[in-house]
Amino acid sequence: MDFSLSVERAGERHNLIAWTKGDSGPVPEQNRGFREKQKVVFHGPPAAKENRNWRVLIDDAPLVPDRPGVWTWEPGFYAGEVEATLQDATGVCQGRWCLDVSPDADKLGRDAFERMLDDIFDHDPSLALGTEPARRQFGALGEHQNPVVEFLRLRYHAADIEQSLRALLQEPLRSLRTRRRLLPPHLVRRADRHTARAGLRQPALLVAIGAVLPDNVLKSTEQPLVDVPDVIYHYDNPPNRCLLHALRALQRRCENLCHRLESDADTEKSSDTETGIGGRWPEWKKFLNAFQRKLKNMERQLPFREVTKAEVTAAGLNAIAAHPLYAQFWRVSWHALRRGIAGSEPADWLPLNPTWEIYERWCFLKLSEWLKGLLPEDMKWREPAPSGTERQLRGESGEGTVVRLHLQRTFGSSKNTPKEFWSISRERRPDIVLDWQRGDNAGFLVFDAKYRVARNSVLDAMASAHIYNDSLRMNQEKPIASVLITPASTETSWLGIPDFFDEHRSGVLPLHPDLELPTWFNDRVRKILVN
C-alpha cells in the first residue's frame, strides 16, 4: 500500500524521501527547499483522501487539513531540520520525514546562519536552545537543562531502552546464595564441620550410620535429617539493583515531565514569532504515559520483581560493565537521563531558538568579542554564567572603570520600586545594553538586533530605537544612542552614517560573520569608554 507524502511548492509537486534524524548523510534534496514563513501544501496517499481522519504532524503538532489528504504548512521563524509524521485514521504512524527549513531569503544565507550557530555552540550552546520544531545536534555535557530537552532526549532513546530491556529480561543475571537444608541421609551430597557437629546431637542419625549407643540414650523412630550446606540462585544482586535504580529513574522522569510540560502548555502565552508547546503537548503526553506503562510492566518481571532495593554500587557497575546486555541498557538509560548540551559526543537532536533569537544571541557574543578588543588589555573580564535569559559580561580596570554588556536586560516600569535600570512607561527588554561607569562619567548604549534587511522592515524596526531613546533610563540617565543591528547592509544607507548617528542618537549598522562594525562607530565608543 502507498504511504507516501508529497509536497507542492511553486506549482511543482514531488514525493518526500523517507529520511529521519540519525540517518547517515545529509537531508535528501527532495526534502530541502522549505523556508520560514513560506507556505507549502502536503498531499497524502490515496487512502488519506478517502478518510479525513488521517493526519500530518509537524514536530508532533497536527496540521489542520484543507480537505481529506491535503494539508497546508507554513514554517514559523525558525531554520533547521524538522520532522514530519504521517498517521493513519487509527493513529498508527505510517511514515516519518526530515525536512530542511532555511532562513528567509530576505534575511541571511543558510551558510552564514550555520556559521552563527557554530559560533554559538563554540561559546555557549545554551544560547541556541529553544522550543522551535527545528532541530540541530547538540552535545551532552554540562548542567543546562529544561523540560523540552529532557523530553526530546527521553523520546529519542526510548526505542533503544525498550529493546535493551527486553533483551536482558531474557537472560537476567543470577547470583548464588548459601543456605542450610535438612535432608534425609540418602540425599546428602556435601557435608561440612557444622554437619558433623549437628549430627552428633541426633541419636537417630548416629544409629542410621551404624553407631552403637548406650541403652540409656533415647532413640527416635523418626527418619533422621542431616543439616547440610546448600546454594540457591537469586536475582537480588548488585547489577540488578543498579538497573532497577535506572528503571525507576526513567519512570520518575516520565511522571515529572508530565506535570512540568502540562503546566508550561497551560500557562504559555500565544506568540506570532515563537512556537510554543501547546500544539505538541497532546502527542507528547500520549508518548510519556505509554512509555511509563511499559517501564512499570517490565519492573514486574524477573529480575526486577525479586530485587529488594534500588541502589548504585561499585560492585554493581563492575558487573554491568562486564555484561553486554546490561551495559547496553545502562548506557542508553544514562543517555536519556543525562544533563547538559555542551561538548560534542554523544550528540542529540534538540530544539533551536527562532532565527531572529539566534541572531540576537550571536550578536551578544560578537559584541562581547568586539568590546574586549576595543578596550585596553588590562581590563579584567568576568564571563556570563551559562544559564538564565539575562546574561552579563563585566569588565573592570585598575583605574575604577566598570563596563558591562547585558543580554535581555529588563527595564522595569517606573511604577515599581526604583531600580538602576527602569522605563518611564511599561516594562521593556532591549536585546543588548552596554553601560559604563568611570568616576562621574556614566551612561549606556542600546543595541537592538533585527534579523531582517528589507527596506520597509528596517524602517518599521526603527520605531524601537526611538522608543528606547525616549523611555529607557539608567538611574536618571538617558541612553547615549539606540542602534539597530542587521545581518547585512540595507537600502537605508543614510541611517548608518556618522552624521545621522550624532544628530539623532540612532542608526542602523550591519553585523554578520563576514562584516564587522564600522570604524567610525568603534572610534566613538572607544572615546566614550576610554578617554
Q: What is the Cα–Cα distance from 439 to 401, expressed in whole angstroms?
A: 7
Cβ proximity of 448 and 464 under 8 Å = yes
CATH T-level topology, domain 6-102? Immunoglobulin-like (2.60.40)
The grid coordinates listed for 104 are 528567509
Nearest Cα to 507, choosing from 158, 518, 516, 123?
A: 518
Strand partners, 485: 449, 509
Cβ proximity of 488 and 464 under 8 Å = no
Question: Phi/psi of residue 80, each to 5°?
Answer: 150, -160
Q: What is the Cα–Cα distance from 433 to 319, expressed in whole angstroms?
A: 55
Cβ proximity of 408 and 339 under 8 Å = no
Residue spans of the domains in the chain: they are 6-102, 147-173+236-338, 175-234, 355-530
User: 3-state class of 333 per DSSP?
Assistant: helix
Q: Which residues, 6 or more positions from 361, have their beta carbon under 8 angstroms from its beta carbon?
A: 120, 127, 128, 353, 407
Helix/strand/coil (H/E/C) assignment for every residue in 135-155: EEEECCECCCCCHHHHHHHHH
Quickly list DSSP for 426-487: S-B--SEEEEEEETTEEEEEEEEE-----HHHHHHHHHHHHHHHHHEEETTBPPS-EEEEES
Q: What is the Cα–Cα distance from 415 to 504, expressed in whole angstroms?
A: 28
Crossing angle of helices 324-337 and 314-321, in 10° steps, is: 120
pLDDT of residue 220: 57
Q: What is the Cα–Cα distance from 138 to 182, expressed in whole angstroms?
A: 62
Ordered per-residue pLDDT tens for the chain, 531 residues? 556 888 887 778 888 887 766 565 677 777 888 888 888 999 988 888 888 889 999 988 999 999 999 999 988 877 778 889 999 888 888 888 888 888 776 566 667 777 888 888 777 777 777 766 666 665 544 555 678 888 988 998 999 999 999 999 998 998 877 677 877 877 878 777 887 777 766 766 666 666 655 655 555 556 778 787 777 788 999 999 999 999 999 999 999 999 999 998 888 887 776 778 888 999 999 999 999 999 999 999 999 999 999 999 999 999 999 999 999 999 999 888 887 665 544 556 667 777 778 888 899 999 999 999 888 888 888 877 655 556 888 988 877 789 999 998 989 886 655 678 899 888 899 999 999 988 778 899 999 988 766 667 677 778 888 889 889 999 888 999 999 888 766 666 777 788 888 888 888 888 888 788 888 888 888 888 876
What's the one-letter identity of residue 365?
Answer: L
Residue with cell 537444608: 181
- Give long-range contacts, CB 8 A cutoff, 24+ apart: 155-158: 155/284, 155/287, 155/291, 156/21, 156/336, 156/348, 156/349, 157/332, 157/333, 157/335, 157/336, 158/287, 158/291, 158/336
Strands (DSSP E) found in 103-196: 135-138, 175-183
Cis peptide before 346 (omega within 30 of 0): yes
